[in-house]
Amino acid sequence: MSLIEELQKRRTFGIVSHPDAGKTTLTEKLLLFGGAIQTAGAVKSNKIKKHATSDFMEIEKQRGISVATSVMAFHYGGKKINILDTPGHKDFAEDTFRTLTAVDSAIVVIDVAKGVEEQTEKLVEVCRMRDTPMIVFINKLDREGKDGFDLLDEIEEKLKLKVIPLSWPIGMGQRFKGVYNVYKEELVLFQPHGKQSEEETIRLTDITSDALSPHIGQEAAEELIEEMHIIREVYDRFDRQAYLEGKISPVFFGSAVNNFGVKELLDCYIDISPTPLPRKAEERVVHPEEPKFSGFVFKIHANIDPKHRDRIAFLRIVSGTFRRNTNYQHIRLDKKIKFSNPTSFMAAKKEIIDDAFPGDIVGLYDSGNFKIGDTLTEGEMLHFTGIPSFSPELFRFVNNADPMKYKQLAKGLDQLMDEGVAQLFTLKDSGRKIIGTVGSLQFDVIQYRLEHEYGAKCTYEPHRIYKALWVTSDNEAALKAFMERRRRDIAYDKDGKLVYLAESKWSLKLAQDNHPEVQFRTTSEIVEKSV
User: What DSSP assignment string belongs to 161-201?
Assistant: --EEESEEEES-GGG--EEEETTTTEEEE--TT----GGG-
Mean pLDDT lowest among 50-64, 264-278, 449-463: 50-64
Distance (Å, whole) CA 369 – CA 346: 24
- Considering only CA atoms, which of 477, 498, 497, 472 is closest in space to residue 487? 498
Q: Is the pLDDT of residue 492 over 70?
A: yes
* Mean pLDDT, the chain, integer: 82
The conformational region for residue 453 under phi > 0 = left, psi -120 to 50 = alpha, else beta, is alpha
Mean pLDDT (whole number) for 279-302: 91
Min mean pLDDT across 86-90, 112-116, 445-449 is at 86-90
List Cβ neighbours of 387 (8 Å cut-off, separation of 6 or more). Answer: 98, 101, 296, 298, 372, 373
For residue range 355-409, list pLDDT tens digits in order. 999 999 998 888 778 888 899 999 999 998 877 666 678 899 999 999 899 998 9
Domains recognised in the chain with CATH numbers: 11-74+86-272 (3.40.50.300), 279-377 (3.40.50.300), 394-521 (3.30.70.3280)
Q: Is the dihedral of CA 194, 197, 198, 201 positive or negative?
A: negative
∠64-69-74 over CA atoms, to 5°?
A: 100
Is 331 a residue whose pLDDT tops 50?
A: yes
| 212/487: higher pLDDT | 487
Asked if residue 171 lies in contact with residue 256, where contact means CB atoms within 8 angstroms, the answer is no
Q: Does 63 have pLDDT greater than 50?
A: no
Q: What pLDDT is stored for residue 350 in this prediction?
A: 67
| pLDDT recorded at residue 69 | 45
DSSP 107: E
Cα-based torsion angle of the residue sequence 477, 482, 483, 484 in order, rounded to the nearest 10 degrees:
90
Which has the closest alpha carbon to 371: 491, 277, 285, 494? 494
- Examine the pLDDT at 88 and tell me if it is beyond 90: no
Q: How far apart are CA 302 and CA 412, in angstroms?
A: 9
CA-only gyration radius of the chain, Å = 25
Q: Model confidence over 500-509: pLDDT tens digits?
A: 999 999 999 9
Q: Are 189 and 172 in contact (CB under 8 A)?
A: no
Q: Contacts by 3-6 with C-beta closer than 8 Å and gap 24+?
A: 3/289, 3/291, 3/320, 3/321, 3/357, 4/289, 6/321, 6/357, 6/358
Amino acid at position 371, single letter: K
For residue 365, give the nearest of 353, 379, 377, 373 by alpha carbon: 353
How large is the average pLDDT for residues 127-153? 91
Cα 168 to Cα 254: distance, rounded to the nearest angstrom? 9
Name the most confidently modeled range: 57-66, 264-273, 346-355.
264-273
Is residue 121 predicted with pLDDT exceeding 60? yes
CA angle 110, 111, 112 (to 5 degrees): 110
Distance CA 15, CA 6 (A): 23
pLDDT of residue 527 exceeding 70: no
Is there a contact between 213 and 221 (Cβ–Cβ < 8 Å)? Answer: yes
- Please state whether beta strands 163-165 and 167-170 pair in parallel, antiparallel, or not at all (unpaired): unpaired
Which residue, 459, 393, 454, is CA-closest to 423? 393
Question: What letter would DSSP give residue 493?
Answer: -
Could you tell me the pTM of the whole model? 0.75
User: So what's the pLDDT on residue 44?
Assistant: 36
Three state DSSP letters for 246-283: CCCEEEEECEHHHCECHHHHHHHHHHHCCCCCCEEECC
Question: 409: buried, middle or exposed (CB in 10 Å: 19+, 13-18, 0-12)?
Answer: buried
Is the Cβ–Cβ distance between 16 and 86 less than 8 Å? yes
β-sheet bridge partners, residue 314 = 299, 363
Cα dihedral 437/440/441/446 (nearest 10): 50
Distance from C-alpha of 374 to C-alpha of 339, rounded to nearest angstrom = 16
pLDDT, position 47: 32
Number of Cβ atoms within 10 Å of the Cβ of 114? 14
Beta strands in 18-170 (DSSP E): 70-76, 79-85, 105-111, 134-139, 163-165, 167-170
Q: Would you state the pLDDT for residue 366?
A: 80
For position 262, what pLDDT does the model report?
87
Q: What are phi and psi of 341, to 5 degrees?
A: -140, 60
CA 283 to chain centre: 26
pLDDT at position 64:
44
Q: How far apart are the first and last CA of the chain?
A: 51
* Residue 452 C-beta-side C-alpha neighbours within 13 Å: 13
Mean pLDDT of 108-117: 92
Amino acid residing at 462: P
Nearest of 284, 245, 208, 21 to residue 133 by alpha carbon: 245
Nearest residue to 367 (alpha-carbon basis) of 306, 317, 300, 322: 300
Q: How many other C-beta atoms can be found within 10 angstroms of the C-beta atom of residue 293? A: 24
Q: Phi and psi at residue 210, in whole multiples of 5°?
A: -65, -35
More confident residue, 308 or 148: 148
Are residues 179 and 261 in contact, defined by beta-carbon separation less than 8 angstroms? Answer: yes
Least confident of 42-56, 122-136, 379-393, 451-465: 42-56
